[in-house]
Amino acid sequence: MADVVTFGEPMVLLAGDRDKIYDSNHFTKYIAGSELNVSVGLARLGHDVIYATKLGEDPFGRYIYDFIKKEGINPSYIKFDSSNLTGLMFKSKKENGDPEIFYFRKHSAASFIDQKDLEFVKSVNPKFIHLTGITLGLSTNTRNAFNFLLKIAKGKNVPVVFDPNLRPQLWKDKDEMVKIINDVAFSSNIFLPGIKEAEILTGLSDPEMIGRFYIEKGVKIVIVKMGEKGAFVVSKDESYAIPSFHVKVVDTVGAGDGFDAGMISGLLDGISLREAVVRANAIGAMQVMTPGDNDGLP
């Protein structure tokens, strides 16, 4: 039995030394991927995590596989693809705000994940399934696999934690992205949008109104992530703000993934939702103090 099951695309991240990628002369190697970051965070906090993916039969794929094993994440459902390569991501160095990002991920090995790669979930009983909108945008294959996993979750009555993690560059157009992401959000149990993402998805800017929008569609808990302003929690019966922790920001990428890991781990540990969101804010703050996407996770 696993505490959490997730799947997605891991990538090797090459972080540059300038605020523009093309100006950088030196790059430091890290590992990226939203679902993998959450898996790392949960595993480091002592939880049993199954992470499913496909990697290229290449040096980057082997590097990621070894990293996953060393982190204590269950690697049993990771497959190697000899026909397609592991995804690659470049990131600039940025003192303030979000860094410049560029992907080499089209037709990557992970974009060929399909529902047969997730059949194993029928025989395990996770306490949560964690998903992000990134996998919905990667390919038709991953979208079908995503919907297959949602059906399994519904059949097993497993709570789905969904982070939209909007990546407009992966979608044909904004309208398609908003419709598909919202359809999944409405069927999730816990929805974790960033405030800017929620504005795109709903046209609303007030976190309470955003939360109520999704609660009225059947979502049980909505937590709007607001960066340095903390988080705003909305359920059917209550709503409240949780302040952030003020730290020196090195890199904002991965903060939301740290937040997700903290929140899920809190619920797995049996603490209250309010306490879990405090933990989520704390871990998100720890992550932004480091240059990689997951090296700040405790």
* DSSP 3-state of 114: coil
Query: Residue 24 — pLDDT band, cuts 50, 70, 90?
Result: very high
DSSP 71: T
Query: In the predicted model, what is the mean pLDDT of the chain?
Result: 94
Q: How many helices (H) and strands (E) does the chain have?
A: 9, 13
- For residue 95, is pLDDT > 70? no
Is the pTM higher than 0.85? The answer reads yes
The residue behind tokens 């939880």 is 47
Neighbours of 151 (CB within 10 A): 10
HSE-up of 291 (CA within 13 Å, CB side)? 16
9-23, 59-73, 152-166, 190-204 — which is least confidently predicted?
Answer: 9-23
Distance CA 205, CA 196 (A): 8
- Per-residue confidence (pLDDT) for residue 128, from 0 to 100: 98
> Residue 234 above 70 pLDDT?
yes
Q: Are 169 and 142 in contact (CB under 8 A)?
A: no
Selected catalytic residue, list 81, 163, 257, 260: 257
Structure tokens at 86: 């592991």
Would you tell me how many other CB atoms lie within 10 Å of the CB of residue 154? Answer: 11
Amino acid at position 258, single letter? G
Residue 270 identity (one-letter amino acid): G
Q: Between vectors from CA 67 to CA 144 and to CA 286, what angle results, nearest 5°? A: 90
Residue 297: the pLDDT is: 87
* Phi-psi domain of 138 (left: phi exceeds 0; alpha: psi -120 through 50; beta: other): alpha
- Distance (Å) of CA 159 to CA 2, 94, 127: 13, 36, 7
Structure tokens at 126: 């996770």
Average pLDDT on 207-221 reads 98
> What pLDDT is recorded for position 237?
93
Note the pLDDT of residue 101.
87
Determine what percent of the chain falls in helix, strand and coil, rounding each to the nearest 5.
Answer: 45, 20, 35
257 is catalytic: yes
Residue 84 has pLDDT above 90, yes or no: yes
